[in-house]
């Protein structure tokens, strides 16, 4: 059985208080998956939610409605470098619980991930009851999955020196059919803040028809599109309610509405496509797509290539290295998404993160590039362009110039580059090439450098003048 089939089974057999009624909606989530997925619009818009498109067509009030949409940007107290952490979705889908979230938090500490820089423990979809509290209108944590509430989990995660994330959606229901925040942004932002939440993943399912985007946004500016305004409503609410802790705002908008053009004005990161899958084709397609939009990436501003699949599916160890390295050099958030984190890393067996996998996700030199606080821009392609995704990337960090090379072919290949062609390198006669994976120098070279790269593997170097 494939990983996805296994995960879907979880959804359909989960025995929780909210499960039965939720099942009807899980098909909606399933239809929304995939790299180019469209938003999952529901047919019936609730009347309480303003209809900006039709207002826009009808009267000058429309312009003021659009202009009056919040313009608050994301907090500068969090999210300068891309998030590092864990998220429940790829591991558990809807079958989550306090015990699983806390076990993951404890493993982040015991596996040395916290020391390596991982800090977020993020709860994804399906954490709540199916209806809001009828009086307060607040979202209510599922009492079976989270018997002590979310704030208790937050306290325990904070006590470990980690941060906690939660999930909602800029529509009428989450992708799995739970209450979502469109029209309830102030209440929900205040609730999350009160619970001690540090990170909000904000999804894009069940958008009422009157909130979908026109083919061209007002003034040709996607920041004024209905999609952007749905996200801006929550950004505005977060800006006024995050009194105790800054909340990192992650726009799970699947690469829609030209989000890379305006995402940094609203949140800290934004998904570039549909959901990740644990296979090589996902890795190459998202690298190729992201490579076309790297100019939006800098401090507080990150293209999100979706969660890690290391530990899931049948990716080879080389493919897992490429998965991690590409997310590193493109400065994507890195959120681990396996329950294998719950097992000891010392024995390599099914259902266990191996020592090699832990070594990949804790590699100090790659993580230092990702978390560099001096230079926020990613590595970008250089050299000749083939037909597939680019293979040669170069970027800067506080330490100097780095080169990353992906071998996208199915055979071991010798990859070569001339130092002259690497952006950022001076005209020195010779260079020291340092292997970031092993932490050792490959040697000193003149003019050019060649290396054999295994199929689907990625090599990573720091290059400095000799
Ligand atoms: C999808 C989202 C996934 C996950 C899921 C939950 O839209 O892309 O990452 O959050 O919803 O239902």
**Backbone phi and psi for residue 30, each to the nearest 5 degrees, phi listed first:** -60, -40
Instruction: Answer yes or no: 275 catalytic.
Output: yes
- Residue 173 DSSP symbol: B
Residue 384, pLDDT score: 78
Residue 29, pLDDT score: 36
pLDDT in tens, 378-400: 999 999 777 889 999 999 999 99
Q: Determine the Cα–Cα distance for residues 7 and 165; give it in Å rounded to an integer.
A: 21
Could you tell me the two tokens for 279? 């296979």
Burial, 10: exposed, middle or buried (Cβ in 10 Å; 0-12, 13-18, 19+)? middle
pLDDT in tens, 33-67: 434 444 443 333 333 344 444 333 333 334 444 55
Contact 17, 142 (CB under 8 A): yes
Helix pair 226-241, 185-195: axis angle to 10 deg: 40
Q: Among residues 125, 203, 213, 457, which one is catalytic? A: 203
Angstrom distances, CA of residue 12 to CA of 8, 18, 145, 203: 6, 12, 16, 21
Residue 405 CA to ligand 1 center (angstroms) comes to: 31
The number of helix segments (H) and strand segments (E) in the chain equals 15, 18
Contact 173, 139 (CB under 8 A): no
Contact 94, 146 (CB under 8 A): no
Residue 394, pLDDT score: 98
Q: Quick one: which atom of ligand 1 is closest to the CA of 274?
A: 8
Residue 437, pLDDT score: 98
* Closest C-alpha among 215, 229, 231 to residue 68: 229
Q: Quick one: which atom of ligand 1 is closest to the CA of 176?
A: 12
Q: Among residues 213, 275, 339, 372, which one is catalytic? A: 275
Q: Quick one: which atom of ligand 1 is closest to the CA of 252?
A: 8
Q: Quick one: which atom of ligand 1 is closest to the CA of 175?
A: 12
Residue 455 CA to ligand 1 center (angstroms) comes to: 31
Residue nearest to atom 3 of ligand 1 (CA): 275
* Closest C-alpha among 112, 115, 108 to residue 91: 108
Ligand 1 shell residues, CB under 6 Å: 29, 32, 89, 124-125, 174-176, 203, 205, 252, 275
Q: Determine the Cα–Cα distance for residues 219 and 216; give it in Å rounded to an integer.
A: 8
Residue 217, pLDDT score: 96
Residue 125 CA to ligand 1 center (angstroms) comes to: 7
Residue nearest to atom 12 of ligand 1 (CA): 175
pLDDT beneath 50: ranges in the chain: 1-65, 344-351
Residue 203, pLDDT score: 98
* Closest C-alpha among 62, 60, 64, 116 to residue 85: 116
The residue whose CB lies within 8 Å of the most ligand 1 atoms, and thus the one to mutate among 35, 123, 203, 254, is 203
pLDDT in tens, 187-221: 999 999 999 999 999 999 999 999 999 999 999 99
The residue whose CB lies within 8 Å of the most ligand 1 atoms, and thus the one to mutate among 125, 271, 278, 309, is 125
Which H or E run includes 166? strand 163-169
Residue 397 CA to ligand 1 center (angstroms) comes to: 32
Residue 286 CA to ligand 1 center (angstroms) comes to: 16
Residue 233 CA to ligand 1 center (angstroms) comes to: 20
Residue 352, pLDDT score: 63
The residue whose CB lies within 8 Å of the most ligand 1 atoms, and thus the one to mutate among 11, 25, 29, is 29
Residue 400 CA to ligand 1 center (angstroms) comes to: 37
Which H or E run includes 461? strand 458-465
Long-range contacts (CB closer than 8 Å, 24 or more residues apart) made by 416-419:
416/448, 416/449, 416/450, 416/451, 417/382, 417/383, 417/392, 417/448, 417/449, 418/447, 418/448, 419/445, 419/447, 419/448, 419/449, 419/463
Q: For residue 220, count other CB atoms closer than 10 A to its CB.
A: 7
């Amino acid at each position: 059985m494939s990983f996805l089939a296994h995960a879907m089974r979880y959804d359909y057999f989960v025995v929780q208080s909210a499960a039965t009624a939720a099942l009807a909606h899980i098909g909606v989530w399933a239809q929304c998956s995939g790299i180019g997925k469209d938003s999952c619009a529901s047919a019936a818009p609730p009347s309480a939610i303003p209809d900006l498109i039709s207002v826009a067509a009808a009267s000058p009030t429309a312009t003021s409605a659009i202009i009056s949409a919040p313009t608050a940007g994301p907090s500068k107290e969090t999210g300068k470098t891309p998030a590092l952490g864990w998220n429940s979705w790829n591991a558990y889908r809807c079958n989550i619980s306090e015990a699983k979230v806390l076990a993951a938090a404890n493993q982040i500490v015991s596996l040395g991930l916290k020391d390596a820089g991982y800090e977020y423990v993020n709860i994804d979809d399906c954490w709540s009851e199916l209806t809001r509290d009828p009086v307060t209108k607040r979202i209510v944590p599922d009492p079976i999955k989270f018997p002590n509430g979310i704030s208790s989990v937050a306290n325990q995660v904070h006590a470990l020196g980690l941060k906690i994330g939660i999930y909602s959606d800029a529509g009428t229901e989450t992708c799995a059919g739970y209450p979502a925040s469109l029209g309830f942004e102030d209440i929900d932002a205040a609730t999350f803040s009160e619970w001690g939440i540090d990170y909000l993943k904000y999804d894009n399912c069940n958008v009422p028809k009157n909130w979908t985007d026109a083919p061209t946004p007002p003034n040709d500016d996607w920041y004024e599109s209905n999609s952007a305004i749905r996200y801006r409503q929550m950004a505005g609410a977060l800006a006024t309610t995050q009194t105790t802790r800054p909340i990192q705002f992650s726009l799970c908008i699947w690469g829609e509405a030209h989000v890379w053009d305006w995402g940094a004005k609203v949140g800290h990161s934004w998904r570039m496509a549909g959901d990740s899958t644990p296979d090589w084709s996902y890795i190459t397609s998202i690298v190729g797509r992201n490579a076309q939009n790297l100019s939006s990436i800098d401090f507080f501003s990150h293209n999100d290539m979706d969660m890690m699949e290391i530990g899931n599916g049948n990716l080879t160890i080389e493919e897992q290295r490429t998965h991690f390295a590409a997310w590193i050099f493109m400065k994507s958030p890195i959120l681990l998404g396996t329950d294998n984190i719950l097992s000891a890393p010392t024995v390599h067996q099914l259902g266990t993160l191996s020592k090699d996998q832990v070594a990949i996700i804790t590699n100090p030199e790659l993580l230092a590039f990702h978390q560099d606080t001096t230079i926020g821009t990613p590595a970008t392609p250089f050299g000749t362009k083939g037909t597939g995704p680019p293979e040669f990337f170069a970027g800067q960090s506080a330490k100097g110039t780095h080169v990353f090379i992906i071998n996208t072919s199915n055979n071991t290949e010798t990859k070569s580059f001339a130092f002259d062609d690497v952006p950022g390198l001076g005209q020195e006669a010779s260079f020291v090439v340092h292997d970031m994976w092993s932490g050792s120098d490959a040697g000193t070279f003149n003019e050019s450098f060649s290396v054999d790269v295994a199929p689907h593997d990625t090599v990573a170097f720091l290059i400095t003048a000799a």
